[in-house]
Structure 1
Amino acid sequence: MRILPLVLSALALSVPVTAAEAPARVTVTLANFSFTPDDLHLHAGEAVTIHFVNEGSGGHDFTAEEFFAAATMDAANRARVGGTKGRVSLGKGESSDVTLVPKAGTYKVHCSHFGHTALGMTGKITVD
């Protein structure tokens, strides 16, 4: 009878994690004066990991203050978005992941580097 709890525990640990249990994953590429995609669609209340990649020739950021402020995330992810700055800053060739639970709404995105917004580095996040 002592073996039965051990066998049940081993079976429980061997059950594979399904895709439904892991957060969705979306990649956002920052390049010279663009975001891809520039129109991001997410689901309210559903955890998502946003993988940011900078393929530009210099530094860029993904600034979405209202979006990040409204989202639920842990302290480590909050630090990745600069706390209240709501910005993921990346140097050339860098990447970063941010996992959060978005709140419904439409949010503007831009790169805060001088002149980058004027050159078209803007976007939108729609959460429904």
Structure 2
Amino acid sequence: MRILPLTLAALVLAVPVTAAETPAKVTVALANFSFTPADLHLHAGHPVTIHFVNNGSGGHDFTAADFFAAATMDAANRARVGGTKGRISLGKGESSDVTLVPRAGTYKAHCSHFMHSSLGMTGKVIVD
């Protein structure tokens, strides 16, 4: 009878414990009238930390309200994207990280500053 509890304990100790999935890291550079990459490819259901960096000569933002609304994220990250605004705003030389779990879909992104999207500051977030 004592063998069964010892066998079960040995099995429990032999099974590896899986930690929470470590987020992948990607960088999105905002510059004068462009995003790099213009099309950001992510994997649905897998956590990712997006590092936004403004390399431009002035302020820019990354606005993708539908993408951010569909993603799962904690309250601190939700606050970074302006809640329902779905926007990361950065001054010259600033950066910000957002960790989230994206949902499948194709989402439009743009800079909401006056005329920036008309001058080519647009892109897509493609999650498959």
Q: Give the TM-score normalised by structure 2.
A: 0.84
Aligned equivalent of 2:9: none
Any unmatched runs of 5+ in structure 2?
A: 1-17
* Cα separation, 1, equivalents of 2:95 and 2:120: 21
CA displacement 1:74-111 (0-9 Å, x = unmatched): 00000000000000000000000000000000000000
Letter aligned with residue 78 of structure 2: R
Residue 22 of structure 1 deviates from its aligned partner by: 1.4
Matches within 5 A, 1:1-128: 21-128=21-128
Residue 21 of structure 1 deviates from its aligned partner by: 3.4
Structure 1 segments of 4 or more deviating over 4 A?
Answer: none
SS of residue paired to 1:76: helix
* Cα separation, 2, equivalents of 1:92 and 1:70: 28
- CA RMSD, Structure 1 to Structure 2 (Å): 1.5
| Alignment size in residue pairs | 111
Name the larger-Rg structure.
2
Any unmatched runs of 5+ in structure 1?
A: 1-16
* Cα separation, 2, equivalents of 1:106 and 1:22: 24
What is the percentage of aligned positions where both structures have the same residue?
83
Partners of 2:25 and 2:51 within 8 A in 1:
yes
Partners of 2:21 and 2:47 within 8 A in 1:
no
Letter aligned with residue 82 of structure 2: G
Q: Give the TM-score normalised by structure 1.
A: 0.84
